[in-house]
């Protein structure tokens, strides 16, 4: 992929940009294989490649510069803004929207937050593209909120975003968002993924590469379809992507997720699916849910944050769960968790390249409990 910002040394976030894409992919496969290790009978499916540009459905733009000439991008080493609004990773809808959002900053008089003087109001503009756009303004306080509201009709006319909100992040820290979210327009962004429509609220987690996420969920469905699993859990379920893909008549699925908002969105996606599926979503801690359950299910899907499943690995090892489908964005914590579950043997694995031009990647592994001799 060609990137003017990289060539001009303005941004070096894509650490593998100079590596040919097929070599990036084979490097990721080698890394995943080394982390998971050799297991007799383990089948590696060919890696799922991504588009090399235009794949990233979410832009996290630091706002800097001045009210009249804001930069949307990153901060350099001195705390000054570098404008990256034409970053080729973002989906075309996001690239097209960023100049309008920069114009909105000027129109509404939203002073960019200056990290060196700790002055100003607008810290980030966050944009997600699904079936339409979700736009979030991360503000230091509610001071500028009236101006955002006043000029919102212009933004609605120019961009027709499905969702607009303001997030209040008062801390002087490199933290993307705060706890307070103020809805301004709409509530949920519809995110079609394969044959399922997920719904995202402003603070919901969602995979950053929609096309590769669709391939991931599709494999989760295909790899688990014929397993003898009448009961299944989707732990760390977010807005329910895995749960809604692995559900089928005769299978009871429970999704468990810390965020109540995400659970509400998942339930909405299930209710709008138009098919009768036995899926319920519960807000809570995955490990506590497993420990409190009367019976272990036949199948558990886990898709944890980067730290991995930690103590849950011990619970799974000691349980009677027959199959585990582990989707990981960090092969180091995956390897650690697999070591803690020696009775669950990797049978099938695949790399999904959610994050081209960086060393990051997703790995899906199907584990089966070894039959004791
Ligand atoms: C990598 S995301 C996976 C989301 C989802 N599976 C998907 O496909 O989009 C991890 C999710 O785990 C949730 N989470 C973090 N810690 C948790 C915990 N202790 N118990 C349950 N969910 C947790 C986060 O809120 C986040 O939604």
Helices 331-339 and 21-36: crossing angle in degrees, nearest 10, is: 20
Nearest CA to ligand 1 atom 18: 285
Q: Other CB atoms closer than 10 Å to residue 249's CB: what's the count? A: 8
Q: With beta carbons less than 8 A apart as the criterion, state whether 217 and 162 touch.
A: no
Q: What are phi and psi of 58, to 5 degrees?
A: -135, 130
Q: With beta carbons less than 8 A apart as the criterion, state whether 137 and 110 touch.
A: yes
Q: Other CB atoms closer than 10 Å to residue 75's CB: what's the count? A: 16
Q: With beta carbons less than 8 A apart as the criterion, state whether 35 and 351 touch.
A: no
Q: With beta carbons less than 8 A apart as the criterion, state whether 363 and 352 touch.
A: yes
Rounded to the nearest whole angstrom, what is the distance from the C-alpha of residue 336 to the centroid of ligand 1?
18
- In angstroms, the CA 347 to CA 342 distance is 13
- In angstroms, the CA 64 to CA 268 distance is 37
Nearest CA to ligand 1 atom 6: 237
- Of 343, 353, 348, the C-alpha closest to 326 is 348
CA distances from residue 234 to 90, 174, 203 in whole angstroms, order as listed: 29, 31, 20
Q: Which atom of ligand 1 is nearest to the CA of 205?
A: 27
Q: With beta carbons less than 8 A apart as the criterion, state whether 95 and 105 touch.
A: no
Nearest CA to ligand 1 atom 11: 236
Active site residue 329: yes
**Residues tagged in the binding site annotation for S-adenosyl-L-methionine:** 207, 236, 257, 303
Q: What is the chain's length?
A: 373
Rounded to the nearest whole angstrom, what is the distance from the C-alpha of residue 84 to the centroid of ligand 1?
29
Rounded to the nearest whole angstrom, what is the distance from the C-alpha of residue 323 to the centroid of ligand 1?
20
Q: Which of 11, 14, 87, 329 is catalytic?
A: 329
Residue extents of the structural domains in the chain: 4-52+209-369, 58-186
Give the CATH architecture of domain 58-186. Beta Barrel (2.40)
- Residues enclosing ligand 1, CB less than 6 A? 205-207, 236-238, 241-242, 256-259, 262, 285-286, 303-305
Which pLDDT value is given to residue 173?
Answer: 83
Rounded to the nearest whole angstrom, what is the distance from the C-alpha of residue 299 to the centroid of ligand 1?
18
Query: β-pairing, 189-193 with 344-352?
Result: unpaired
Which pLDDT value is given to residue 373?
Answer: 59
- Local confidence pLDDT in tens for the 373 residues of the chain: 899 999 999 999 999 999 999 999 999 999 999 999 999 999 999 999 999 999 999 999 999 999 999 999 999 988 899 999 999 999 999 999 999 999 999 999 999 999 889 999 999 999 999 999 999 999 999 999 999 999 999 999 999 999 999 999 998 888 889 999 999 999 999 999 999 999 999 998 999 999 999 999 999 999 999 999 999 999 999 999 999 999 999 999 999 999 999 999 999 999 987 777 899 999 999 999 999 999 999 999 999 999 999 999 999 999 999 999 999 999 999 999 999 999 999 999 999 999 999 999 999 999 999 976 5
Nearest CA to ligand 1 atom 4: 238
- In angstroms, the CA 267 to CA 198 distance is 10
**Residues tagged in the binding site annotation:** 207, 236, 257, 303
Q: Which atom of ligand 1 is nearest to the CA of 213?
A: 8
- In angstroms, the CA 175 to CA 116 distance is 16
Q: Report the 3 state secondary structure along 56-92.
A: ECEEEEEEEECCCCEEEEEECCCCCEEECCCCCCECH
Q: Which atom of ligand 1 is nearest to the CA of 207?
A: 9
Rounded to the nearest whole angstrom, what is the distance from the C-alpha of residue 160 to the centroid of ligand 1?
30
Instruction: For residue 62, list its beta bridge partners.
Output: 73, 124
Q: Provide the greatest CA pair distance for the chain.
A: 73
Same fold, 4-52+209-369 and 58-186: no
Among 130, 304, 363, name the best residue to mutate to test ligand 1's pocket (greatest count of ligand atoms within 8 A of Cβ): 304
- Of 206, 130, 207, 127, the C-alpha closest to 167 is 127
Superfamily of domain 4-52+209-369: Vaccinia Virus protein VP39 (3.40.50.150)
């Amino acid at each position: 992929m060609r990137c003017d910002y990289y060539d001009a040394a303005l941004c070096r976030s894509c650490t593998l940009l100079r590596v040919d894409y097929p070599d990036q992919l084979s490097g990721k496969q080698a890394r995943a294989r080394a982390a998971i290790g050799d297991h007799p009978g383990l089948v590696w499916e060919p890696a799922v490649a991504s588009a090399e540009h235009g794949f990233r459905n979410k832009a996290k733009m630091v706002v800097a510069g001045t009210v009249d000439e804001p930069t949307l991008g990153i901060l350099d080493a001195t705390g000054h803004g570098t404008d990256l609004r034409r970053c080729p990773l973002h989906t075309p809808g996001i690239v097209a929207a960023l100049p309008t959002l920069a114009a909105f900053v000027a129109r509404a008089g939203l002073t960019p937050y200056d990290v060196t003087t700790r002055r100003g109001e607008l810290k980030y503009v966050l944009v997600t593209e699904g079936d339409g756009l979700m736009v979030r303004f991360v503000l230091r306080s509610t001071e500028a909120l009236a101006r955002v509201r006043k000029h919102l009709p212009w933004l609605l006319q120019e961009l027709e975003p499905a969702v607009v909100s303001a997030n209040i992040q008062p801390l002087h820290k490199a933290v993307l968002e705060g706890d307070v979210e103020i809805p301004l327009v709409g509530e949920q962004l519809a995110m079609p993924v394969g044959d399922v429509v997920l719904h995202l609220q402003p603070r919901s987690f969602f995979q950053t590469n929609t096309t590769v996420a669709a391939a991931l969920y599709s494999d989760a469905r295909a790899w688990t379809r014929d397993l003898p699993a009448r009961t299944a859990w989707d732990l760390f379920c977010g807005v329910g992507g895995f749960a809604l893909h692995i559900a089928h008549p005769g299978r009871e699925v429970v999704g468990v997720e810390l965020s109540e908002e995400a659970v509400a969105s998942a339930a909405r996606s299930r209710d709008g699916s138009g098919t009768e599926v036995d899926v319920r979503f519960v807000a809570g801690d995955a490990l506590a849910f497993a420990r409190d359950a009367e019976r272990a299910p036949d199948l558990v899907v886990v898709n944890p944050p980067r730290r991995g499943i930690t103590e849950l690995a011990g619970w799974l090892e000691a349980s009677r769960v027959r199959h585990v489908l582990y989707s990981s964005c960090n092969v180091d914590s995956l390897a650690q968790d697999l070591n803690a579950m020696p009775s669950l043997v990797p049978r099938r694995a695949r790399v999904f390249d959610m994050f081209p031009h960086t060393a990051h990647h997703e790995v899906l592994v199907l584990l089966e409990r070894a039959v004791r001799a």
